[in-house]
A and B are shown apart, each in its own frame.
Chain A
């Protein structure tokens, strides 16, 4: 429950930050990008705060949510989906590197190339860390 309360505080803080961004945009202190960011922060935070409030009030809902979040098949599916997302992203980006080079867009091609490299470096570093840990 302590963790739930910490999350509640965190979401209240993000909602306040989001509201501040909206306010500053309304006062023309920031550009429209920040109003979008602020609206998103407020929306997500409010939804999460309502969810946490329901979690604290309703035991059945809390139990249901606990199972949903800790169910090992759900966790495995999430891990598998992330793994697939990474795999297909790399392939699509690599194809993009070639396609953008062919259509005379070298800047985009180089940018995507860097992105592929960064992702692969992160993967290998993570792999080495995990290899040492396990």
Chain B
């Protein structure tokens, strides 16, 4: 699942560490999310979207044919 977290984070002038602290997750989780290696839970997706004042659909792009779990 593709997402715009890295782009949004840069627009808001946040480092990965700062975003991680705001979301109460590890920096490694942010790295994995940004690279699309890890798909977040609905709760974390909602928290991320809310962090940027957007909806989940604005941040995450679900592609037809994707399965649950990790993207790759």
Task: Tell me the B27-67 residues at the A interface (CB within 8 Å).
Answer: 28-29, 32, 38, 40-41, 43-44
- Bound: A51/B64 CA distance, A: 46
| Secondary structure of the A contact surface, majority rule | helix
Q: Which of B24, B38, B43 contacts A73 (CB 8 A)?
A: B38
How many of chain B's residues have a CB under 8 angstroms from any CB in A? 12
The interface residues of chain A lying within 8 Å CB-to-CB of B24 are: 66-67, 70-71
- Bound: A72/B44 CA distance, A: 8
Contact B38 A74 (CB under 8 A): no
* B26 interface residue (CB < 8 Å to A): yes
The interface residues of chain A lying within 8 Å CB-to-CB of B32 are: 73
- Bound: A36/B29 CA distance, A: 38
- Bound: A72/B25 CA distance, A: 7
* A56 interface residue (CB < 8 Å to B): no
Write the A69-92 contact mask toward B (1 if CB under 8 angstroms, else 0).
011111010000000000000000
- Bound: A17/B24 CA distance, A: 37
Contact B38 A71 (CB under 8 A): no
The interface residues of chain B lying within 8 Å CB-to-CB of A72 are: 25, 29, 40-41, 43-44
Most buried by B among A66, A67, A73, A74: A73
- Bound: A73/B41 CA distance, A: 9
Task: Tell me the B2-20 residues at the A interface (CB within 8 Å).
Answer: 20
Could you list some 19 contacts between A and B, CB below 8 A? A67-B25, A67-B26, A68-B26, A70-B24, A71-B24, A71-B26, A71-B29, A72-B40, A72-B41, A72-B43, A72-B44, A73-B25, A73-B26, A73-B28, A73-B32, A73-B38, A74-B26, A74-B29, A76-B38
Residues of A within 8 A of B (CB): 66-68, 70-74, 76
Residues of B within 8 A of A (CB): 20, 24-26, 28-29, 32, 38, 40-41, 43-44
